[in-house]
Amino acid sequence: MPFRRGLRGRGATALAVALCCCALTWFTATAAQAHASLVRSSPAAGAVVPRAPEAVTLTFGEQVLAADAGVRVYDDRFAELDVGPAAAAPSDPLTIVVALPRGLATGTYTVAWRVSSRDTHPVAGSFQFSVGSTSRVVGTLPETGRNEAVGTFLGVLRWVGFVGAALGPGAVVAALLVWPAGLGTRPLRRVVGAGLALLVVSTAGGMLLQGVYASGQPLASLWRAPETLDSHSERFDRVYAVRSYLLVAATVGVVALLGLPAEARDRWRRAWVVVAAVAALALLATWPLVGHSAVPPGAQVAVVVNLVHLAAMVLWLGGLAVVLVGVAVDRDVVVADGLRRFSLVALGSVTVLVASGVVLAWREVGTVGALGGTTFGRVLLAKTAAVVVLLGVADLARRWVARNATGDEVEPVGTTHDRGFSRFRTGLVGEVALAAVILGLTAALVSVVPGRQAPEGAPGSSAPAGTSVGPVTPTGR
């Protein structure tokens, strides 16, 4: 059959593209990306300066906004000094300056800093310097780190957001392409509604909890002391505000689309596909803007590639949800026509997904050694393994479609056919379960620093607050 031969040919092409991308990753290397890290300071970490400095300067590995930075200075009893606001150095975009009080007394001082990376992750650290001579440091540095428990919950919310994007906008676009009549059925409408609801939960939860995470405050600060919370990232605040507006607009658009008569949806189906795809892309674009892709160099290209990666993932998984609902609601129609359409959509999505994923991995990991030598690399390997298994299961489903959906005719789905169809439907459920795992690993990758991190205590490390960056004075705490 022409359809079967075409599907097999496209499958071979997609496999060739995937193998070429893997070869590109294996034989190329680039510098690993990382969060903002402290490169040097003046006074230097552990330095004993003869005279009291007028200011502290902090130079980072990437540009940080002074408005997002928080720098505090403490004496050797951990009493906080009255310092000036953080300001950008006029001659160096990577450096921020904080004015110190005049006439600092002899002794050891602790500088605790907190900034936000370009990917909106909060990074904090501390170091000590002395004026004249060192002194004994008594006490404990006030906690200025991140609330890691809340950070874990933020990772769960990111997973919820990915699932919501697939079941909401992704399912709408996929339904228009694969099974337009399904938009008039109650089960598929419930799936779309659940996806939009998950997006609302993810967005609202992220906006609420980012301040708790970045400020290192307990969760109770949300209602007890909200004035102490700060996301420490103007980019995060803006992007999430835009995402919330786009989500409201998308929800209104979906309600309008579902409220149309079936004839109107069918007549203008191509136009609706374009409108839904543009709206979905606008919403999805808010994810790479607050992720590793936003970090230079090549941030503009990386953001676009990440957007394409997300769009392919959302369309594929949304299509899986549509087909799973379709075979339960209108089995004959979906098998006769919808599965052929979904096979083409899925094949294109998978090809784009693999190619864009390899490009992003190459950029963020950079070396083969970093795959097994870093947390980011190991999580990426786990995600890759899950994707390979998912592709295998998907290929079995594609073969079933090639055998049974042969153009305008469908083989009978009676008793002798039910066993094969049941296996096919079980495979769809397995694909959905694997997809959920992959989305979880994707959400985890957002929180992990790409490439190799400098060891804790090195001048370029982004150590948690409460540790020292650089050498510690002999009489330090």
> For the whole model, what pTM was predicted?
0.75
Q: Which of 97, 131, 165 is the last residue of a domain?
A: 131
Residue 355 sits in the same domain as residue 235: yes
Instruction: Give the span between the Cα atoms of 134 and 91, in whole angstroms.
Output: 32
Domain extent at residue 101: 38-131
Predicted local confidence at residue 48, as pLDDT: 94
Looking at the domain assignment, is residue 68 inside a domain? yes
Residue 180 sits in the same domain as residue 302: yes
Residue 181 sits in the same domain as residue 231: yes
Residue 287 main-chain phi, psi, to 5 deg: -75, -55
- Indicate the helix (H) or strand (E) that contains 428: helix 415-447
Looking at the domain assignment, is residue 249 inside a domain? yes
Q: Can you tell me which residue has the tokens 């998950």?
A: 198
Q: Which of 131, 157, 186 is the last residue of a domain?
A: 131
Residue 302 sits in the same domain as residue 400: yes
Positions of the chain with pLDDT under 50: 1-12, 14-19, 21-33, 407-416, 452-477
Looking at the domain assignment, is residue 56 inside a domain? yes
At 180, the amino acid letter reads P
Residue 124 sits in the same domain as residue 228: no
Looking at the domain assignment, is residue 474 inside a domain? no
Tell me if residue 119 falls in helix, strand or coil: coil
Helices 269-284 & 299-329 angle (0-180, nearest 10): 130
Residue 103 sits in the same domain as residue 239: no
Residue 253 sits in the same domain as residue 400: yes
- Indicate the helix (H) or strand (E) that contains 295: none
The token pair at 117 is 């990376």
Looking at the domain assignment, is residue 137 inside a domain? no
Q: Which of 106, 131, 156 is the last residue of a domain?
A: 131
Looking at the domain assignment, is residue 18 inside a domain? yes
Q: Is 244 within 8 Å of 144 (Cβ atoms)?
A: no
Q: What is the CATH number of the domain that holds 72?
A: 2.60.40.1220
Tell me if residue 95 falls in helix, strand or coil: strand
Looking at the domain assignment, is residue 101 inside a domain? yes
Instruction: Give the span between the Cα atoms of 263 and 59, in whole angstroms.
Output: 62
The token pair at 320 is 């899986």
In DSSP notation, 26-65 reads HH---PPP----EEEEESPTT-EESS--SEEEEEESS---
Residue 263 sits in the same domain as residue 249: yes
Residue ranges of alpha helices (H) inside 220-298 are: 221-224, 234-259, 262-267, 269-284
At 160, the amino acid letter reads V
Q: Is 278 within 8 Å of 307 (Cβ atoms)?
A: no
Q: Is 340 within 8 Å of 405 (Cβ atoms)?
A: yes
Residue 321 sits in the same domain as residue 361: yes
Residue 242 sits in the same domain as residue 120: no
Residue 361 sits in the same domain as residue 216: yes
pLDDT in tens, 195-237: 999 999 999 999 988 888 877 778 888 888 787 777 778 888 8
Predicted local confidence at residue 234, as pLDDT: 83
Instruction: Give the span between the Cα atoms of 4 and 95, in whole angstroms.
Output: 61
Instruction: Give the span between the Cα atoms of 365 and 381, in whole angstroms.
Output: 11
Sign of the alpha-carbon dihedral angle for 322, 327, 333, 334: positive
Residue 302 sits in the same domain as residue 220: yes
Tell me if residue 374 falls in helix, strand or coil: coil
Instruction: Give the span between the Cα atoms of 144 and 78, in whole angstroms.
Output: 13
Predicted local confidence at residue 210, as pLDDT: 86
Number of domains in the chain: 2
Predicted local confidence at residue 145, as pLDDT: 61
Looking at the domain assignment, is residue 462 inside a domain? no
Predicted local confidence at residue 335, as pLDDT: 67
Predicted local confidence at residue 22, as pLDDT: 45
The token pair at 360 is 């992003």
Q: Is 344 within 8 Å of 319 (Cβ atoms)?
A: no
Instruction: Give the span between the Cα atoms of 345 and 319, in whole angstroms.
Output: 8
